[in-house]
Structure formats: C-alpha cells, structure tokens
Structure 1
Amino acid sequence: MNIRQSLEEFEIKYLHPSAAKSLYASRDIEEPECSVRTKFQRDRDRILHSKAFRRLKHKTQVFLSPEGDHYRTRLTHTLEVSQISRTIARALRLNEDLVEAICYGHDLGHTPFGHAGEFILKESGSYHHAKHSLRVVEKLENEGKGLNLTKETRDGILKHSKGKSPLITEGNMPKTLEGQIVRIADKIAYINHDLEDAIRAGLIKESDIPEDVVKILGNTKSKRISTLVMSVINSTVENDYRYIVMDEKIYNAMYKLRDFLYEKVYFADPVKRELDKAKGILQALFEYYEKHYYEIPFYEKYLNLWGSYDPKQAAVDYIAGMTDRYAIKTYEKIFIPKSWHVV
C-alpha cells in the first residue's frame, strides 16, 4: 500500500460518512494516480501552481491600487476563505483537501478592478465570475488544455457564489458539503475583511457598525468570525449534516452587516469614483479587442487547439485574466499617445 492509498483509507475510516472521499472522485479524462497525493490534493496543487492563481495578488478586492500594504487583494481574500473553510471542515470531519482546492479556484475568473470589471464584462453577455472561474480551470489554463480537475472540485468552484438569495440552502447548491462550506465561508471572509479595510481607509468607523449586529456577532473581527464559524459548525451538526447551515438569527445579522457595507462602503463616493474610472478603461479595452481579436496573444494558438474561438469570448478571456496594473499598462499602450522627440 502506497502513501496515497493510505490517505484514501484514512478518509474512509475517519471522515464523516457524508464527507467526499477522494477514492471515489472522478475526472473527465482518467489519468495515472499519484503514489503520494490523493485526487483532491492534486487538484489543489494544480490550481496553486497555475498562472491564474498567481495573478490574484494583483487583482482588486474592493480598493483599487491602495497605497497601504495591508489592504486585501483577491489572493489574500482567497487565503482567508481557505482558512475559514478548513477550520469548519476539520471540525465537521469533512474533506479539508477538497475544501482547499475549491477555495483556491473559486475566484480565478474574477476581473481586474473588482466589481467594476465584472460589470463591464457582464454587459457583453459572455461573463459570470463563477462560470469564468470554471472556464479558467477547464479551458484556459495549461496553455488551453485545462487542468483536468475532479468533478467535485469543479462543481464547488462553479456553485460557490450564492448571490443575494436570503437563505443558505437556496439557489444552485454544490453537490458536496465541502462545496457548501466554501459557499458560506466566502461570505464570512469578505464581509469581515472588507469591513476591516473600510475602517482602515477611513470610510467608516467601528462605532458606525449597527448596534444590534455588534450585540449578536461581537465587537471585533475575531469575535465576529468566531461567532459565525461556530454557528456553522453547531447548526450543521444539529441539522444532521443535511446542509451546511447557520443559526437564522446569526445569519440575519451577518446579512445586515453585508447590507451596511453595500450602503456605506461599496457605493461610497471615493470608491465609486475610482471604479467609474476603471469601468472606462475596461470598456475601452473590451471594445478594442472585440474588433482586434487577432491581437490577443493566445488567440491563434487556442483557435488551432480548439477548432473555433468566438472573438467576443476571446476578448472576455483576455480582459478577465488581466491584473489591475496590466490592464492600465495595456490601456496606456493602446490609447495614450507617446511623447517623441523631433530632431
């Protein structure tokens, strides 16, 4: 018995009966097994070593090109989601490796400039960030061949976004409990770290947080996250693992805090002014590359590999993959005149 087989046996013996087991996971294209790592561990590693994952460090979470070093990016958000998700998974005896793989892949498809970029590409009719995250791992990474991840990881990536439905169990639910953990941990992470960043930026003060939210969740980031995480763990056990859930009172307080952020932070004038500038940049880039798709670096290669490649989709793929700074640099190269010297 090799190391991977020992790990698979451990999962079956010690994880909860409702946990996903790597032994039973499947890929669209079967491949030889690793002697050391399980399928879910290989999924995690493939995402971690991808170019799309590395680009997350230069993609906006909320604040565009912040001068301070302590504001979140898509990469730090991803790591915080992973930490919260793994804590919940371990407490519930669910599969940490699958949770980690889904976390690392869940935001790969996000645009530069956060929600500003998402708004522009959505208007093209060819973009949704969760679907595009799946497209990244299935089609775009590995030079257009995809990463051949397991169906369980891909399902979790596709269905990680709950949208604005009021209940955790509404909408397009992940098939695994591990995917459901990421779905709620994503909310727990961004609500709390966006709140902390907004206070750091001076947009709001700690005292502005609604009193009833503070009373229920706690008066520090640490206490709020602990309250939410413990509620998920306890409520899921009480629910007999039918879904990953949270106490209704605590869940409603979390969503009141989310609504507070939308009102006071996400649409605050200083944030909106910069996002409007970003929208202008990406709108111009999209219109340009939709017409000049043959200038997209990978267009010909992927066209030859896939047999067909819609120019509009190529423009979406290229722009969604840009970092903030690369988008600005590309915009300047195309639209800003260069100074030149006349002899």
Structure 2
Amino acid sequence: MNIREQFEKREKNFMSPFGCQSAQTRGRERKEAPCPIRTAFQVDRDRIVYSNAFRRLKHKTQVFLNPLGDEYRTRLTHTLEVSQIARTIARAMFLNEDLAEAIALGHDLGHTPFGHGGENVLQEIHSPEFSHPKQSLRVVDVIENDGRGLNLTHEVRDGIIKHSKGYGKILPDDPNELACTIEGRIVRISDIMAYLNHDLDDAIRSGVIRQDQIPEVCTRIIGRTHQDRATTMIRDLVFSSQAVDGELRLAMSDEVFGAMTTLRAFLYKNVYRSAKVHKEFVKAKKILSELYFYLLDNETALESELARMGISGCLNNGQPREQVVCDFIASITDRYALGLYKKIFFPSPTV
C-alpha cells in the first residue's frame, strides 16, 4: 500500500458519509496514472498553486484599484481567506479538506483585472455570457499549461464553475446552481463570508464608509471585528447544518443569515456602487475596452503579448480571434494592463 492509498484509507475511516472521498472522484477528462504520494484532490491543489494564473492574482484588484496601503486585499489574499474558511468548515464537518481547498484556490483564477469592472466591460464588448466562474474553468481547462490545461478532477472543476452567481442567493434554491459536492457548496458560502468580512474592513480603512454606518443589526448579531464576524458566520453554518432525508443540507440560523444578507446589501449600495469606487472603474473599463479592440485589429501585437504572457498556446487550439483576445484581457493583471495601455497609446519621446 503506497502513501496515497494510506491517505485514502484514512479518509474512509474518519470522513463523514456526506464527504467526497478522494478515491471516489469521477476522474479527469484525460486519464493519467495516480500519484503514489498525493490524493487526486491534493494533486489538483498543487497544480492550481503552481499555475501562472494563481501567481497573477497578487496583482489583481479585489475592490480598490491600485491601493497605496500594504494592508488592502488583492484577489490573491481574498482567495487565501476563502481557502482558510472553507478548510475550517470542512474540517469541522468531517468533510474533504483537500477538495474544499482546491476549489477555493481555483475559484477566481479567471477573474479579470480591475475586479468586477473588468468583468462588466468584457460582458459589454465581448459577450453578455462572460463571467469569471466560466473564465476560471477556461483557465484550468484550456489556457494554462500552454493551451493544454491542468486536467483537474470533475469535482474541482464543478466547484469552480458553480462557486458564484453574482448577487444571487447565498444559499440558492435551484439545485442546478449547487455544486455536486458538499465541499463545493461550502466554498460558495465561504467566498461570500470572506468578501463580506474583508471588503467591509478595507472600505473602513479607505474612508469609503465609517464604522458607525454599518447597520446595527449586523454588528449586534455577527460582530464588530473581522475575527468576531468570521467566527460567528462559520460556527453558525457548522451548527445549523443537518442531515435531512439522507442528505447534508447546509443551513444558517435566520438571525445570522438575515444579518449577512443585510450586510451584503449595505456593501453593494455603499461600497461597490459608491462614487469613489465607481469613478475608478470607469477609467479601468476604458483602458480594457481600448486594449481589446486594438489587439483585435493587430494580430502581430496580440501574438507578441500572448507569448510574453506565456499563453501563446491559445493561438493554436482553433479559438476565434475574439475569444483569444478575451482570454488575454481576462488573464492580465492591473499593472500589466496599465503598462500595456501606456506602451500602445501614450506618445514616446523621439529625441
């Protein structure tokens, strides 16, 4: 019995019957020999962490563009916070921590530069169907590894594509919106828990809102500090979820769920759609739009930038030019976009 098989045996002995055992994965699109040391979901986690897309998250906006303070979240720190919350919940419920972690680490790989402003502009100029969950799946299936993808397991891919539906319900009613594993469903909730907490933190730090503006019901029920809020939300989910008709149903108390819903509505109104945040996204949308159309009309420049980014394999897999440009725009970081825009559109000194 090798090391991986010992881990799989341990999972079988201690894991809840509702968890997804590594040995029971539905597999990968391209079959490959299993690792003798790591389980299938541990392999997926490692492939994600070592990907180019994962490293680029450190220079992609979470909420605030190009923040000067070192303490503001980026898309990478957001991802790490989601991963930590998901692992904590999965461990407490005796589920598969490795699966939850892999989904969490991969859930935003396809997020655009400049946060949701970048996502909105690609919906406007490329396709209304563009979304960062779909793009994250494209990253792991098509874009990474020079066009060959990461060949992840079905369960991780499913969790990535179903981790978000914008401003949809925290706990959706439509079963088609639910991941096929409990671990994937936990990541969706962990994502919301993380951004409610840290976006509030950053909004206060930036002066967009004040502590005393937060709805009283939110501070009273889920807490005044980051630690208190995270602890309250995680514990409430763990202790409110229960088995019903042979299925584990994730649930939260009416009180905490109501406070979370109120806090999310408050953030959308007072932070994400605030004048201070919105005016910067208007500028960012102009930059990405002009880059998109320039690269669409300049194949040589597009090929050069794809090679520079290490994703030139996209050119060789039969994708339409519009899709290749979209993949490039979605892949670049905030600072790469700003530098490329300057190189293309700013005049250069001639003497």
User: 1:59, 1:73 within 8 Å by CA — same for their partners in 2?
Assistant: yes
Q: Contact between 1:127 and 1:316, CA under 8 Å: does it hold in 2?
A: no
Q: Indicate yes or no: 2:312 matched with 1:326.
A: no
Query: Cα offset for 1:219?
Result: 1.8
CA 1:311/1:305 → structure 2, altered by over 3 Å: closer, same or farther? closer
Per-residue CA deviation, residues 76-117 of structure 1 (Å, 9 max, x unaligned), is 000000010000000000000000100110000000000110
TM-score by length of 2: 0.93
Q: Residue in 2 aligned with 1:159?
A: 162
Corresponding letter in the other structure for 1:22: S
- Contact residue 302 and residue 309 of structure 1 kept, 8 A: no
CA distance in 1 between partners of 2:51 and 2:169 (Å): 34
Number of the residue aligned with 1:251: 257
Any idea what the Cα deviations from partners look like across 1:16-41, whole Å, max 9, x if unmatched? Answer: 00100111111111111111100000
Distance 2:144 2:314 in 1: 15
Q: Does the C-alpha gap of structure 1 residues 238 and 18 become closer, same or farther in structure 2, counting only changes over 3 Å?
A: closer
Inter-partner Cα distance in structure 2 for 1:226 and 1:295: 49
The answer to whether the 8 Å contact 1:137/1:149 transfers is yes
State the secondary structure of the residue aligned to 1:225. Answer: helix
Q: CA deviation at 1:167?
A: 5.2
1:131-150 counterparts in 2 under 5 A?
131-150=134-153
| 1:335 has 2:335 as partner | no
Matches within 5 A, 1:36-185: 36-123=37-124, 124-125=126-127, 127-166=130-169, 168-171=171-174, 172-185=177-190
The AA in structure 2 aligned to 1:289 is L
Q: Secondary structure at the match of 2:158?
A: helix
Stretches of structure 2 that go unaligned for 5 or more consecutive residues are: none
**What pairs up with 1:129-278 in 2 under 5 angstroms?**
129-166=132-169, 168-171=171-174, 172-237=177-242, 241-278=247-284
In the alignment, the residues of structure 1 paired with residue 302 and residue 231 of structure 2 have an alpha-carbon distance, to the nearest angstrom, of 46
Matching residue within 283, 290, 302 for 2:313? 302
Letter in 2 for 1:326: Y
- Any conservation in 1 of the 2:170–2:189 contact (CA below 8 Å)? no
CA spacing shift, 1:249–1:294, aligned 2, 3 Å: farther
Counterpart of 1:312 in 2: which secondary structure?
A: helix
1:238 and 1:211, CA in 2 relative to 1: closer, same or farther beyond 3 A?
A: farther
What are the superposed Cα offsets for residues 298-329 of structure 1, whole Å, 9 maximum, x if unpaired? 489536642x1101101110000000000001
Q: Which moved more, 1:134-143 or 1:285-294?
A: 285-294
Equivalent-residue separation in structure 1 for 2:232 and 2:159 (angstroms): 24
- Deviation of 1:169 (Å): 3.2
Q: Unaligned regions of 5+ residues in structure 1, if any?
A: none
Q: Distance in 1 between matches of 2:243 and 2:256?
A: 15
- Whether the 8 Å contact between 2:110 and 2:330 is mirrored in structure 1 is yes
CA distance in 2, matches of 1:305, 1:262: 41
Tell me the secondary structure at the aligned position of residue 75 of structure 1.
helix
CA deviation map 1:32-63 (0-9, x unaligned) = 11111000000000000000000000000000
Letter in 2 for 1:13: N
Q: Partner of 2:169: helix, strand, or coil?
A: coil
- Distance change (3 Å), C-alpha of 1:162 and 1:246: farther
1:265 Cα deviation from its structure 2 partner: 1.0
Offset, 1:179: 0.1
> For the residues of structure 1 that align with 2:301 and 2:350, how far apart are their CA atoms?
24
CA distance, structure 1, for counterparts of residue 168 and residue 326 of structure 2:
27
Q: CA RMSD in A?
A: 1.6
Q: Indicate conservation of the 8 Å contact 1:61/1:73, yes or no.
A: yes
The corresponding residue for 1:16 is 16
Code of the aligned partner of 1:288: Y
How many matched pairs?
A: 340
| Shift in CA distance, 142/261, structure 1 to aligned 2, threshold 3 Å | same
- The one-letter code matched in structure 1 to 2:344 is I
Letter in 2 for 1:106: H
Matched-pair contact (CA < 8 Å) for 1:169–1:243: no
Instruction: Give the 3 Å change call, closer, same or farther, for CA 335–182 of structure 1 in structure 2.
Output: same
Deviations 1:230-271 (A, max 9, x none): 111011136575332222321121011011111111122221
**Superposed displacement of residue 2, structure 1:** 0.8
